[in-house]
Amino acid sequence: MPLAQIEDSICFVVCNQMDVISNSAPMISVVLPVYNGASYLRESIDCILVQSYSNFELLIIDDGSTDDSASIVSSFTDPRIRFYSQENKGLAATLNRGIALAKGAYIARQDQDDISLPDRLSKQVAFMETHPDCGMAGTWASILEEQKPTKRLHRHDADNLSLQFDLLFDNPFVHSSLMIRKTVFDEVGVYCTNPDRQPPEDYEMWSRVARKFRVANIPEVLHIYREVPQSMSRSGNNPFLQHLLKINVENLMWATGGRYSDQSLRDLAALIHGAYPQFSRKTSLGELISIVHDAAIALCDHAGTPYREIQEKVQYRVNNLRYHYYQARHLGFLGESGRRALAHIMRAGRKLVEKQWRLRVIR
């Protein structure tokens, strides 16, 4: 039997077993936080209610919306929906309330403007049931630009080691595609609400999860991520970068066992993200490369996986680091955006000089 058919058979058996569990204890709690989400909220709710897997509750928490979000939710009569309203507390606090209210063994995220494809929950719960050492699993996602389909995908790595390495620096998960064991929160805590650490509340959380559990992405598009103008992940009007660098340093400190100075780790994080003004120039390129290699080796040892499995990924990160190091040494005071602006000015200047020279020749 082909592998795909075997996997589908496993999924069918597992999910049918899950569906017969008592209605008083849903297997999955889908947590959907809402804040002024009227534009796409109905579509987001509908996509959950038509899932091929039915043993779930849908927890919708309105975080002080001032639009028609509450009336849209109230128009649904499906008994699996539990609706709560509160004064505005922010995304992290709202998610934490959802986790506290959840009755399911698994927490599945859903955003007010995203879409879960019909088999998302079915395939995720089957994966989690057959991988008991996995703390959380996301999926691949296609991308909508508001209502316009694109050919772009969030197609992150699927295996634990690659994701552990990526998490040192970035977030290789689509937040609203995640399914997490509820018991994971008992060990690592819930979402951080400290404004000095979030956003990115998701990256901060996944970093803590990955230190204690295996993680995964199901390599299949089971979710649609919608890019909207007011989305925080698409806006520069937040302290995202500084918090990101702080979490990078913590991740690197954990992976390398505290063998490197805080300054060296801050320099590495700054260069990885092109934050040149924050590079102290006190750390050599050799030490920066050693940090990356040592962190990768430690992760391999922790996962019991040969280094060769991520050698190519590590080399890509080192090559990227070399580029940023030399850019920072020469144009560090500008930053990446400043460097691009300077390059644009220089090109314009060359064109002006060439034009003046041509006019001079004509005269």
One-letter amino acid identity for 180? I
Report the pLDDT averaged over residues 196-222. 96
Together in a domain, 278 and 209: no
Residue 15: inside a domain: yes
Residue 305: inside a domain: yes
The answer, yes or no, to whether residue 230 has pLDDT greater than 90, is no
Which has the minimum average pLDDT: 33-42, 181-190, 266-275, 340-349?
A: 340-349
Together in a domain, 220 and 246: no
Together in a domain, 282 and 323: yes
Together in a domain, 301 and 168: no
Together in a domain, 155 and 21: yes
Together in a domain, 265 and 317: yes
The answer, yes or no, to whether residue 166 has pLDDT greater than 50, is yes
What pTM did the predictor assign? 0.83
Burial of 348 (0-12, 13-18, 19+ CB in 10 A): exposed
Together in a domain, 224 and 322: no
The answer, yes or no, to whether residue 214 has pLDDT greater than 70, is yes
Together in a domain, 280 and 206: no
- Domain containing 56 — which CATH number? 3.90.550.10
Residue 339: inside a domain: no
Report the pLDDT averaged over residues 133-153. 93
Together in a domain, 85 and 126: yes
Which of 234, 249, 282 is where one domain is finished?
234
The answer, yes or no, to whether residue 14 has pLDDT greater than 90, is no
Residue 56: inside a domain: yes
One-letter amino acid identity for 283? T
The whole domain housing 135 covers 3-234
pLDDT attached to residue 15: 47
pLDDT attached to residue 22: 43
Report the pLDDT averaged over residues 287-296. 98
pLDDT bucket at 339, cuts 50 / 70 / 90:
low
Together in a domain, 43 and 159: yes
The answer, yes or no, to whether residue 345 has pLDDT greater than 90, is no
Together in a domain, 107 and 211: yes
Which has the minimum average pLDDT: 39-48, 152-161, 249-258, 344-353?
A: 344-353
278 or 361, which is more confident = 278
Count of domains forming the chain? 2
Residue 363: inside a domain: no
The answer, yes or no, to whether residue 10 has pLDDT greater than 90, is no
